Amino acid sequence: MSLIGNLNKVFDSRIRLGIMSALVVNKEVNFNELKELLDITDGNLASHLKTLEESEFVKVQKGFIGRKSNTTYSITKAGEKAFKTHLTALEKMIGSMK
C-alpha cells in the first residue's frame, strides 16, 4: 500500500494547509484574518484560495460591512473529508518511522 498515495496533492502547499487548518476550527474566516494569520500578500493568498475553491474544498461568501467588502471563507463537507484523510495519511507516515 502506498502511503504517499493518500496524501492530497492540493495540500502540498504549506499555505493551503494553513488555510484549511484555520477553516477546520472556525465556522468562517474572512480574507484579512487569513492574511494576518499566514502573513502573506493579497495576491498570493487569493491564488491559493482559488485553488482550494476549484477543488471544492472551500466555499466563498461575499458580503459587506458598511461600504467595505467582506469576503469570508468556510470549509465544505468534501474539504473536511479530504483534510481528515490527509491528516491520517500524515500520521501514518510518521508512524512508519519506527
Partner 1 sequence: MNEQQQSLHDLQHIKQMMERSSRFISLSGLSGIAAGVCALAGAWFANGVIEANGGPSGYRAVVVKTLEVDSLQDFMGHRLFQIAIYTFVAAFVFAFLFTYLRSKKNNVPVWGYTSRRLLINVSVPMVAGGIYLFRQMQFGNYGLIAPGCLIFYGLALVNASKYTLGEVRYLGYCQVLLGIINCWFVGYGLYFWAAGFGLLHIIYGSVMWYKYERNKKSEA
Residue with cell 474572512: 30
Q: How far is the CB of 18 from partner 1 (least distance, A)?
A: 4
Contacts of residue 33, Cβ cutoff 8 Å, sequence gap at least 6: 22
Q: What is the side-by-side strand order in the sheet with 68-75? A: 29-30, 68-75, 58-65
Residue 21 or 76 with smaller CB distance to partner 1: 21
d(CA 54, CA 43): 16
Residue 9 or 96 with smaller CB distance to partner 1: 96
Residue 76 or 90 with smaller CB distance to partner 1: 90
Q: Which residues bind partner 1 (CB under 8 A)?
A: 4, 11, 14, 17-18, 20-22, 24-30, 32-33, 35-38, 65, 70, 87, 90-91, 93-94, 96-97
